Amino acid sequence: MKGQELRMKTTEDLQRELLDLSREQFKLRMQRSGDQLAKNSELNRVRRDIARIKTILTEKQGG
């Protein structure tokens, strides 16, 4: 997910996206603990996307 795409979304959309990614991260962590995770890179991608969204939400609140 690109930062520019995220900046065009509203705060409500970003909050919804953050919730979805948090749920996905939880599922991936459970898969990893059960040795069922096929791609370890998926967990890293989700973590980075969560960080991007949180950063943009902070920018929107401050600006």
**What is the C-alpha separation between 8 and 28, in angstroms, rounded?**
28
Task: Say which residues have a Cβ less than 8 Å from residue 11's Cβ, sequence separation at least 6.
Answer: 57, 60
pLDDT of residue 34: 93
Q: What is the pLDDT of residue 53?
A: 97
Predicted local distance difference test score (pLDDT) of residue 63: 66
CATH of the domain at 19: 1.10.287.310
Weakly modelled stretches of the chain, pLDDT under 50: none
Domain total of the chain: 1
Mean of pLDDT over the chain: 94
How high is the pLDDT of residue 15?
A: 97
**Its pTM surpasses 0.75:** yes
Q: Which domain holds residue 52?
A: 3-62
